[in-house]
Structures are given as C-alpha cells and as structure tokens.
Amino acid sequence: MSPGIGLMKRRLETENQAVALAVSGILKKYDGITQNDLKTLETQYDSDSGDWYVALGFGEKRAVVKMDSVHATISEINEI
C-alpha cells in the first residue's frame, strides 16, 4: 500500500524550487528566450491536489506552468 499525497514527501517544497522548474520548462519549450526575458507574475500552491501553478511573462506572451510537487514534473504549460 502506498501513502496518500498528503503523506508523501514533496520534491518541490518551496516557491523558489517551483519557479526554477517552471523557468526551465519555458526555456526548453520556447526557442530564443533567455532567463533574463522571463518575469514571474504569480505563484500559487494548491494544497488539495499538491500542484504548483506558476505564471510567467516573456515578451508579449504569458504562460501558466502546472507542476506536480510530489514528482517534481511539469504537468502542462498553457499559453494565455
């Protein structure tokens, strides 16, 4: 039997770790963007699902990166 999400150790424990993973995901997905181009607009942690949401702005684009805090993986990137 495996423990529930509430009992599992999170790999993304802090906001800084979540922002770093989100920035990495955006840099891999979009060519021609540097880390200096990215601005963190908002971060939010959903304690019910254990997911981090990080909104980043770059140029005239905006993207929301959803990440699983237990597995430290990016679930999806939505451009808005």
pLDDT at 1: 44
Cβ neighbors of 71 (< 8 A, separation 6 or more) are 11
Question: Domain containing 61 — which CATH number?
Answer: 3.10.450
The pLDDT tens digits of the residues spanning 25-64 come to 999 999 889 999 999 999 999 988 889 999 999 989 999 9
pLDDT number for residue 12 = 85
65 lies in some domain: yes
For residue 3, being part of any structural domain is answered with no
Structural domain contains residue 74 = yes
| 52 located within any domain | yes
In DSSP notation, the chain reads: -PPPGGGSPPS--SHHHHHHHHHHHHHHHSTT--GGG-EEEEEEEETTTTEEEEEEEETTEEEEEEEETTTTEEEEEEE-
Domain extent, residue 66, equals 8-79
Domain count, the chain: 1
Domain for residue 22, yes or no? yes
pTM score over 0.95: no
Asked whether residue 1 is domain-assigned, the answer is no
pLDDT for position 45:
95
